[in-house]
Amino acid sequence: MHALLSYVVLVLNPYRYDELMSSLKLNEIIKLIPTSKLISRVNPDGNPVFDVPCGNSDDGETEELARLKTRNVLNSPLDYPALNQAVLPEDTVCIALEPGTPGGAGIVAAVIEDLLSIGVQPANVTVLLAEFTPDSECKFLREYLDQLGQANVLLETHNSTERSAVGYLSASRDGEPIVFSAQLAHSDFIIPIGIAKSGGWKSQVDFLYPYFSDRQSQIRFFKLNERNRIAFALEANRWLGSSFSILTVSPDSKRASEILAGKHESVMIAAKKSLDQCHNAQQWNCESNPPIADLVIAEVGQHLFCSITEVKTLIDAITDYCSAGGSCVVLWNAENKIDRLIDFDSGQESANAVEIPSGAIFVCTDQSVIRQLGYSSIKEIENIQRLIDQHSQCLILDNFQNHCSVTVSE
């Protein structure tokens, strides 16, 4: 993070905030910015260069297209037998879905269709959602499956605080308990469905741990450094025995440009290669020569997170794109409520962990959340307009929640 970054403006949507801010979206903010100020990277001659996002140019991947793509990849998984050779009709199957996965409902539906064709009973198939999955996403998935005649498939949301909802697998090498959702721990076959990440510890491990563990395990996990998080998550997932997975490759976190299925390690490698190709097709990527601007406006969409530590990491990643003395506006459009995070109740300790530069601004009418995290408050869109007027270069980070998912709107 740049030491002289002037401040971060964090706009949280959409819980208990005033009506204006709850409807504020990145596309509306872009309309306020003169085209001459919108940049991704400035050429030596001073002309802005606009990056083109990888993948389809359509506005979003429909569930039906995702369902068709998934049907195709399930016929020939990477380094893994087809499901009709890996799953028995009498097996119990748990499908774990990461919230915010583009085309997630369509992918789930295609997997269920494949399982039912094998002879697996609908009552033996459970779709497990993460604890912080928005109600709107849960409702949409249930209605989508019902429309496809999959009403008898169970749909459950993980609860990290309910003892009966988790199962003990083993102790780690350091003696810590390895605990997972009971549905995951007791199922014969597990199918995680998520989105490929392009940076950070989340790009190196399956998303199942710690999000489908118990609350105490989650708190312990986020006290670890990044290297130890990776090591512990890998160890936990080995005990779980999950070897098959499905990942969507989505450089802009909106549409699935590619869907990969098969042996977990092979899927992770293929996903990284696919993301690298997309980034290399742009003028820059997240690991080399990122653009720097004096005003960064980032939108954070729905994604899987449960700790203030993750909020800090994401904000740090955003501010790395800002020049010294510049400003950041973060539109936090994930539906998770900050005051529900596992370490929110730790008070000032959590606020200090976020390490926001002095003078930070948190746009939100929930004053208790603001005080707890050490932010101040503004309530008018005119404050953002003034920032735009005061700066000469503006970088747009669209759907930044999975790191490096950066596009620039022309």
- Boundaries of domain holding 142: 63-279
Distances (CA, A) of 123 to 91, 115, 144, 158: 11, 12, 17, 18
On whether both 338 and 367 belong to a single domain, the answer is yes
Q: What's the confidence (pLDDT) of residue 175?
A: 92
Q: What's the confidence (pLDDT) of residue 315?
A: 76
Question: Nearest to residue 74, comparing CAs of 95, 47, 45?
Answer: 95
Number of domains forming the structure of the chain? 2
Q: What's the confidence (pLDDT) of residue 410?
A: 32
Q: What's the confidence (pLDDT) of residue 160?
A: 93
On whether both 216 and 243 belong to a single domain, the answer is yes
CATH code where residue 176 lies: 3.40.50.11440
On whether both 107 and 255 belong to a single domain, the answer is yes
On whether both 217 and 309 belong to a single domain, the answer is no
Domain assignment of residue 408, yes or no: no
Q: What's the confidence (pLDDT) of residue 83?
A: 95
Q: What's the confidence (pLDDT) of residue 342?
A: 79
CATH code where residue 388 lies: 3.90.226
Q: What is the DSSP string of 120-140?
A: --GGGEEEEE-TT--HHHHHH
State the helix-helix crossing angle for 63-75 and 104-118, rounded to 10 degrees.
Answer: 40
Profile the chain (410 residues) by mean pLDDT over runs of 10 residues: 52 45 69 85 41 38 86 95 95 95 94 97 96 89 94 95 91 93 95 86 85 94 91 92 89 82 93 78 49 82 83 79 80 72 58 41 43 59 84 86 47
Of 247, 279, 311, the domain-final residue = 279
Calpha distance 223→225 (Å, rounded): 7
Beta bridge partners of 245: 262
